[in-house]
Amino acid sequence: MTDVPAQRPALTLPIKLAYGFGTVAFGVKTQLMGLLLLYYNQIVGLPPHWVSIGLAVTIFFDALWDPFIGQISDNWRSRLGRRHPFMYFAALPSAITLVALFNPPQGWSDGAITAYMIIMVIAAKATISLYEVPATALTPELAPAYHDRTQLLTFRYFFAIFASSAAAVMGWVVFLKDTVGPNGEKVRGQLNADGYGPYALVVGGLMIFSILVACLATQRFIPFLHQPAARSIGALTVIREMLVTMSNRNFLVVSLSALFVGVGAGLSNGLNIYFQTYFWGMGSSNLAFIVAGTMLGSLLALILAPLVSRIYGKKRACAILMGLALVTSLTPITLRLLGIIPHDMNGSSSLTGILLLDRTLYGAFATAAAILTASMIADVVEESQLATGRRSEGLLLSADNVLQKIAGSVASIIPGFLLLWVGMPEKAKPESLDPSIMTNLALLYLPATAVFALMAIGAIMFYRLDRAGHEANLAKLEEVAALAAVVVETEGGIDGSDLAAPGAKPA
C-alpha cells in the first residue's frame, strides 16, 4: 500500500458493469434457495412446517454474522484493502455449500435431513455474505455523489434480479422441464427430483465466475479507498461502536421499512412457487415465460430508479414505487378470487401473458424501490461518519440487510404453517388438488402481504436526508480532511483518516 498511483482510476461504464456483475452470485443463489421449501417438502418429503421452522432457525446466525462481517471489514487492514480479502475468499465455498444443499444424503431420517438442511443453509448464507457485505460496502466509496451511487446500485440490483430470473428460466427450460411419467402422465418439472443436483452445480459455477469478475475489476481502486487507522480495540468497544453507528435516526427509519419489506418478501417467496404450480396450473414452460417478465422488469428498473429519484427525490420516489409494486403483486390473485380470471384459463397462453405482464410491472417497481432504499442507506454513511468519526459502510449496509434477512426468515415460517392450515398434502398433484385449498391460501395471503407493504411505505416517509443534506455532509467531510492534513503537516504523526466533524460525540 506504499506505492500509491498518482491518479485514481476513472469509474468507467465497463467497471460499473463488472462491479454490478458480482451480484449475479447473489441472484442465482437466491433463485435456487427460493425452491427450498418445495424441494425439501415435495421432493425429499419433509413436513412443510418442519422445513419452514428449519429455515427460520438460521435467522439467529444471520443476526450475528452479517453485522460482524460488516464491522470486521470496516476495520480490516491489508495489502488488498478492507473489502477484497473477504470477497475473493467467498467465491469457492459459496458455490460448494449451495451444491451440497441440493444433494442431501439418502436414507437419513427426517430429523437428520432437517438438521443437514439447517447446517447447509447457514453455511450457504455465511459464505455468500463474505462477498455481498464487503462488496456492497464498496458502493459509497466508489461513487460518493448523490445520484452516482444510485446509478451504481442500479447496476448491482439489475444484475442480481436479471441473473435470478435468468437462472429460473434456465431451470425451467433445461433442468426442471416438464416430462412424461412411466404411465404417460405429465410430470411438472419443478417436481422432478433428478434436475436439482445438476442445476445447483451450474449455478455454483456461475457464482464463482461472477465474484471473481467483480473482484478483479475493482481491485485497481484499492490504493484510493479508505484505510482505517491502526488501533487495538476490545470486544466491548467493538459492540459499543456498532450500537452507536446503528443508532442513526435515518438508518433506523430505513431499516424499519426494510424489516416490513423483508417479512412480505419472505411470505411471498415461500408461497410463490405453490401459487404458480397449484393456483395457476403452470408447467415449467409457462414459468420460463413468466420469469422472463421479471428480467424485463429489472431492465426497466435501470431507467426507472434514477429517473423517478431525480423527479421526486429518493424518499418520495421509493414510497411511490412500493405502492405500485403492492398493487401489481396483488392484482392477478384478486382477479381470480373475483371470478374475472376463471379456473379454466389455468395453464393457457392467455393466462401466461397476464402473469408475464404482472411480473414485468412488479419487477420494475419493486427493483427500483429496492435500489433507492439501498441508496438511502448509502447516503447515511457520511452522516454517520460526521457523528462518529468512522466510516462504517459495511456495518450500516449489512445491518440493514440482516434485518431484511431476519424478517424474511421469520416470515418463512408462515408459509409452512399456512400450508398446514389449509390442508396442503405432501407430494400433491396439481390436477387432483382440491381448488378450495389454494383459494383459502389466497384469502390468507392477500391481506397479510398488503399490511406489511403499507407499513413499509409508512416507515420510509420518516426519512429526512435529501440531496442538499447529503452534499452538505460531503462538504463537511472535505473540510475535516483538509484540517487533518494541515494537522499532520504541522504537528506530525496524527492520522486524520477517522476524524469526526467538530462537535461530534465520541463513540
Q: What is the mean pLDDT of residues 175-185?
A: 76
- Range of lowest pLDDT (53-57, 326-330, 483-487): 483-487
Q: Tally the residues of the chain.
A: 507
Contact between 503 and 388 under an 8 Å Cβ cutoff? The reply is no
Contact between 84 and 134 under an 8 Å Cβ cutoff? The reply is yes
What pLDDT band is residue 505 in, cutting at 50, 70 and 90?
A: very low
pLDDT value, residue 84:
93
pLDDT value, residue 59:
72
Cell numbers representing residue 448 in the block: 397479510
Which residue would you say has higher pLDDT here, 99 or 400? 99
What is the maximum span of the chain, computed from C-alpha positions, in angstroms? 87
Which residue would you say has higher pLDDT here, 93 or 183? 93
- Range of lowest pLDDT (54-63, 209-218, 289-298): 54-63
Contact between 507 and 241 under an 8 Å Cβ cutoff? The reply is yes
Q: What is the pLDDT of residues 231-248, one digit of tens each?
A: 555 556 666 766 777 778
Contact between 397 and 378 under an 8 Å Cβ cutoff? The reply is yes
Instruction: Round to whole Å and give the CA distance between 300 and 302.
Output: 5
What pLDDT band is residue 425 in, cutting at 50, 70 and 90?
A: confident
Tell me: pLDDT of 460 over 90: yes
Instruction: Round to whole Å and give the CA distance between 372 and 352.
Output: 30
Tell me: pLDDT of 122 over 70: yes
What pLDDT band is residue 491 in, cutting at 50, 70 and 90?
A: low
Q: What is the mean pLDDT of residues 92-102?
A: 96
For the beta carbon of residue 292, count every other beta carbon within 10 angstroms.
18
Average pLDDT over the chain reads 83
Tell me: pLDDT of 397 over 50: yes
Could you tell me whether strands 186-187 and 179-180 are parallel, antiparallel, or unpaired per DSSP bridges?
antiparallel
Q: What is the mean pLDDT of residues 403-428?
A: 76
Helix/strand/coil (H/E/C) assignment for every residue in 70-139: HHHHHCCCCCCCCCHHHHHHHHHHHHHHHHHHCCCCCCCCHHHHHHHHHHHHHHHHHHHHHHHHHHHHCH
Q: What is the pLDDT of residues 244-286, one digit of tens each?
A: 777 788 888 988 898 888 888 878 877 888 898 889 888 777 8
Contact between 230 and 498 under an 8 Å Cβ cutoff? The reply is no
- CATH T-level topology, domain 13-226+233-491: Growth Hormone; Chain: A; (1.20.1250)
DSSP output for 308-355: HHHHH-HHHHHHHHHHHHHHHHHHHHHHHHTTSS-GGGTT-HHHHHHH
Cell numbers representing residue 469 in the block: 443534506
Instruction: Round to whole Å and give the CA distance between 351 and 201.
Output: 32
pLDDT value, residue 219:
92
Q: What is the pLDDT of residues 10-23, one digit of tens each?
A: 889 999 999 999 99
Instruction: Round to whole Å and give the CA distance between 474 and 145.
Output: 9
pLDDT value, residue 335:
95
pLDDT value, residue 249:
85
Tell me: pLDDT of 490 over 70: no
pLDDT value, residue 208:
98
Instruction: Round to whole Å and give the CA distance between 415 and 50.
Output: 11
pLDDT value, residue 507:
41
Contact between 163 and 11 under an 8 Å Cβ cutoff? The reply is no
Please give the single-letter amino acid code of residue 401.
N
Q: What is the pLDDT of residues 70-81, one digit of tens each?
A: 878 887 888 888
Instruction: Give the SS3 label for residue 182.
Output: coil
- Alpha-carbon distances, residue 47 vs 42, 52, 193, 268, 442 (angstroms): 9, 9, 17, 19, 21
CA angle 33, 35, 40 (to 5 degrees): 100
Q: Which of 155, 90, 115, 375 is nearest to 254 (CA)?
A: 375
pLDDT value, residue 243:
73
Cell numbers representing residue 70 in the block: 460488516
- Range of lowest pLDDT (78-87, 101-110, 335-344, 480-489): 480-489
Q: What is the pLDDT of residues 145-179, one digit of tens each?
A: 766 777 888 889 889 888 988 898 898 888 988 77
DSSP output for 242-299: HHHHTT-HHHHHHHHHHHHHHHHHHHHHHHHHHIIIIIS---HHHHHHHHHHHHHHHH
pLDDT value, residue 51:
87
Which residue would you say has higher pLDDT here, 389 or 457? 457
What pLDDT band is residue 445 in, cutting at 50, 70 and 90?
A: very high
Instruction: Round to whole Å and give the CA distance between 380 and 240.
Output: 19
Q: What is the pLDDT of residues 338-390, one digit of tens each?
A: 999 988 888 788 999 999 999 999 989 998 998 898 888 888 877 877 877 77
DSSP state of 183: T
Tell me: pLDDT of 496 over 50: no
Contact between 26 and 394 under an 8 Å Cβ cutoff? The reply is no
pLDDT value, residue 315:
92
What pLDDT band is residue 93 in, cutting at 50, 70 and 90?
A: very high
Instruction: Round to whole Å and give the CA distance between 32 and 183.
Output: 29
What pLDDT band is residue 319 in, cutting at 50, 70 and 90?
A: very high
Contact between 130 and 90 under an 8 Å Cβ cutoff? The reply is yes
Contact between 354 and 472 under an 8 Å Cβ cutoff? The reply is no
Q: What is the mean pLDDT of residues 409-423?
A: 79
Tell me: pLDDT of 87 over 90: yes
- Range of lowest pLDDT (140-149, 304-313, 456-465): 140-149
pLDDT value, residue 502:
44
